[in-house]
Amino acid sequence: GRLRLLVLFGGASAEHDVSCVTAAHVLAAADRTKYELIPVGITTGGTWIRNDKAIAALAEATPALPDSLEPAGTEVEPLAEIAGEGDRPTVVLPLLHGPHGEDGTVQGMLELANVPYVGSGVLSSALCMDKAMAKIVAAQAGIPQCRWIEFRAGTGETASLVERTIAELGLPVFVKPANLGSSVGISKAHDAAELAEAIEFALRYDEVLVIEEAVTAREVEVAVLGNLFPEASVAGEIRPGSEFYDYEDKYVNGAAALVIPAELPPAESDRVQELATTIFSTLRCSGMARVDFFYEEGGRGWLLNEVNTIPGFTAASMYPKLWEASGLSYPALIDRLVELASERHAIRS
């Protein structure tokens, strides 16, 4: 029989809508001779809803699916829905970005349910979601990174943090909430006044902040796939449409251009692929992750920016495009991710 592939989408994050688009694309692309596709949407309030309309559409010979799924249909109880009826094998594909999806919380629930799921486990998901903790662990393994400082709310006044930042990092700097994505809460500060504002702004999103020197560099990303023996795709470059790769650029006007493969000397491509798989293993990732770098030409070379354990997955997203350019089609990528999820689950249980 076919494997039940439970596609989890939506969620409480700023990337809710992106996730709904991704889910529609995955349903359209996945091989229906292999999978019984069960789309389950999570509302911004956290309710789980099985999309019956999409399930009915998928039963047709030529399914008419929307461009974007909705968390609409029958409300379901999460653990019961994951388990399904009888003992049909199930794999869960969490297509959720940011907090309560990519940060280990949903992964913890899936561990308790004892089902295989695509992507990283609890520790790695939480680690990669927290920019400060990820940097600390990566630094311990000797991974090159930009200069940065951490700040916890309540441990000092904004004015003294402004002073400390300028003394230690200079200007301009990037101020980020530790636990977020999609550029939400992030700003670039060019002077002391902007820095104070950037700190106050980021503190609305998290009680831990990361402040980094602003590097002048190219942005290069590598898709990694695998469990204990991960493989790297060709590298791709992002050319932001504005001063940095912000939310608008990512999802609203799509002004950023993707260059695949990135134009790099062969030795540098090899180097960044090797770094990407090392980082993937260092941060205990499994299944998939997109490892994002700054490439400081003529300077320090490769600097890790961040790791995203549930990278953007629409047809236009970097992660699947990098694999396509490396010889793995979108449907084949889904198959491989499902296989990796099953393998990891079999080893661990």
The residues that touch Mg ion, with contacts defined as CB under 5 A, are 181, 306, 308
The answer to whether residue 171 forms part of the interface with ligand ADP (CB under 6 A) is no
Please list every residue from 70 through 129 that binds ligand ADP, using CB under 6 A: none
For strands 187-189 and 218-226, give the pairing: unpaired
**Residue 308: active-site member:** yes
The answer to whether residue 332 forms part of the interface with ligand ADP (CB under 6 A) is no
* DSSP assignment string, 280-298: HHHTT--EEEEEEEEEETT
Active-site position among 13, 120, 179, 182: 182
Please name every residue paired with 6 in a beta bridge, in sequence order, or none if there are none. 38, 92
Structure tokens at 20: 């709904």
Active-site position among 13, 179, 269, 308: 308
179 vs 278 by CB, closer to Mg ion: 179
The Cβ of residue 234 has, within 10 Å, a number of other Cβ atoms equal to: 20
**Residue 297: active-site member:** no
Active-site position among 81, 221, 292, 324: 292
Determine which residue in the list 202, 306, 313, 336 makes contact with K ion, applying CB under 5 A. 306
**Residue 270: active-site member:** no
Q: Which stretch binds ligand ADP (CB under 6 A): 40-48, 110-118, 133-141, 207-215?
A: 207-215
Task: Using CB positions, name the residue nearest to ligand ADP.
Answer: 245
β strands within the chain, DSSP E: 3-10, 35-42, 48-50, 74-75, 90-94, 148-152, 173-177, 187-189, 208-213, 218-226, 231-239, 257-259, 287-296, 301-308
Please list every residue from 264 through 323 that binds ligand ADP, using CB under 6 A: 292, 305-306
51 vs 308 by CB, closer to Mg ion: 308
Rounded to 5 degrees, φ, ψ at 293 are: -120, 160
Partner from ligand ADP, Mg ion, K ion, none binding residue 37, C-beta < 5-8 Å depending on class: none
Rounded to 5 degrees, φ, ψ at 34 are: -95, -35
Q: How far apart are alpha carbons 91 and 94 in whole angstroms?
A: 10
Q: How far apart are alpha carbons 44 and 61 in whole angstroms?
A: 32
Q: Which stretch binds K ion (CB under 5 A): 21-29, 53-61, 237-245, 299-307?
A: 299-307
Active-site position among 10, 15, 245, 336: 15
Q: How far apart are alpha carbons 156 and 287 in whole angstroms?
A: 40
State the minimum distance, in angstroms, from the CB of residue 159 to Mg ion.
29
State the minimum distance, in angstroms, from the CB of residue 174 to ligand ADP.
4
Rounded to 5 degrees, φ, ψ at 154 are: 90, -5
**Residue 68: active-site member:** no
State the burial class of residue 173 (Cβ atoms within 10 Å of its Cβ: 0-12, 13-18, 19+). buried
Q: How far apart are alpha carbons 217 and 39 in whole angstroms?
A: 40
Q: How far apart are alpha carbons 81 and 345 in whole angstroms?
A: 19
The answer to whether residue 181 forms part of the interface with ligand ADP (CB under 6 A) is yes
**Residue 306: active-site member:** yes
110 vs 238 by CB, closer to Mg ion: 238
Rounded to 5 degrees, φ, ψ at 236 are: -130, 155
Active-site position among 227, 251, 271, 284: 251
70 vs 130 by CB, closer to Mg ion: 130
The answer to whether residue 245 forms part of the interface with ligand ADP (CB under 6 A) is yes
**Residue 182: active-site member:** yes
128 vs 175 by CB, closer to K ion: 128
What residues line the site for ligand ADP (CB under 6 A)?
A: 146, 174, 176, 180-183, 186, 212, 214-215, 219, 240, 244-245, 292, 305-306
The catalytic site residues sit at 15, 182, 251, 290, 292, 306, 308, 312
